[in-house]
Amino acid sequence: MQINQHARLSTAPMMDWTDRHCRAFHRVLSRQTLLYTEMVTAPALVRGGAHHLLEFGEAEHPVALQLGGSDPEELAEAARIGAERGYDEINLNCGCPSDRVQSGTFGAVLMTEPARVAACVAAMRAAVDVEVTVKCRIGVDEQDPETVLPDFIARVSDAGVRRISIHARKAWLQGLSPKENRDVPPLGYPLVVRMKDAFPGLHLSVNGGVADLDAAELFLADGLDGVMIGRAAYQRPWDILGQADERIFGAEASPCAAPEDAARAMRPYLAQHLEADGKLGQVTRHMLGLFAGRPGARAWRRVLSDGSTARGEAGLSVYDTALDAALGERAAA
């Protein structure tokens, strides 16, 4: 599978958000967008045997596994396990700023150790046939991004990485919480665009603060190869993913013509999940924003949220009621 063409638009890996149910929903909205897993740590796979974290459905392709770690041998083994499970890409996290990640010497703190990152990705590439990529920040703490970022990119590209996603903010490992690190540090988009001029042979995607497809199209027009969208794609999935195949990939039509079509398309997946003793809310919590910004959004969220928290087991009847309520609210509007 040629992943570069799908990386023109991708969803950001987000802890506790982009699980397999979220990805199943996002794939209903877009056939083309590259989807990422939550970060899975190499120690959890190699030492902990937590292979259940790698579960995904065939319909999710193209899908990339993001790994966290800093030991080349361990990451190589984790990459091998992921590739054997069928992932189309293995990505190394060099951007997460959480305290838990720092204590394990991986995530954004790796921006301070580019030689180690180069050794890690070289070992991962030697272990698998699928593409190995990196997601990073423009720098951390007191680092000068103008100096640090091009050096970091040069080192990982020398190790064989051809595709990098750059979160256009510094990560302040001292003084800011993970949540604040998503908003407080200023965005350095011009630097990311200049990196494409400096490294024309690499596939570079920008991440961080991209709110809509208008912004994504401007970045692509500026010469970047891809755009990675996180919270906006999750909170307003129809506005982003529901329009992506036509606007970003040039498809003649999107998989679904309207949000309600996506809701109906998800019903068989929900039925299968419930038959396997899953809970409705495990899936629908990712779908609350489907009608965001449109008549029916409030009724959809209310019925699904109330149904998921009510006593007893919520089933497809709750889901059907939520869709009827959303359509009824829209008709009344």
Q: Which residues are catalytic?
A: 96
164: amino acid identity, one letter: I
In sequence order, what DSSP letters do the residues of 303-323 get, joined into one string? HHHHHHHSSS---HHHHHHHH
Q: What is the Rg, in whole angstroms, of the alpha carbon atoms belonging to the chain? A: 20
- Rounded distance between C-alpha atoms, residue 218 and residue 225, angstroms: 11
Query: Beta 9-11 vs 35-41: how paired, if at all?
Result: unpaired
Token output for 178: 């993970």
Beta bridge partners of 166: 136, 206
Alpha helices in 171-296 (DSSP H): 189-198, 213-221, 231-235, 237-247, 259-275, 280-284
- What 3-state DSSP class applies to 193? helix
- Rounded distance between C-alpha atoms, residue 38 and residue 67, angstroms: 9
- Rounded distance between C-alpha atoms, residue 231 and residue 103, angstroms: 25
Provide the angle, in degrees to the nearest 10, between the axes of the packed helices 20-29 and 237-247. Answer: 50
- Rounded distance between C-alpha atoms, residue 6 and residue 136, angstroms: 19
Q: Is 313 left (phi over 0), alpha (psi -120 to 50) or beta?
A: beta
- Rounded distance between C-alpha atoms, residue 137 and residue 185, angstroms: 11
* Separation of CA 197 from chain center: 25
- Rounded distance between C-alpha atoms, residue 138 and residue 147, angstroms: 10
- Rounded distance between C-alpha atoms, residue 112 and residue 173, angstroms: 11
Beta bridge partners of 205: 165, 226
In sequence order, what DSSP letters do the residues of 59-89 get, joined into one string? GG-SEEEEEE---HHHHHHHHHHHHHTT-SE
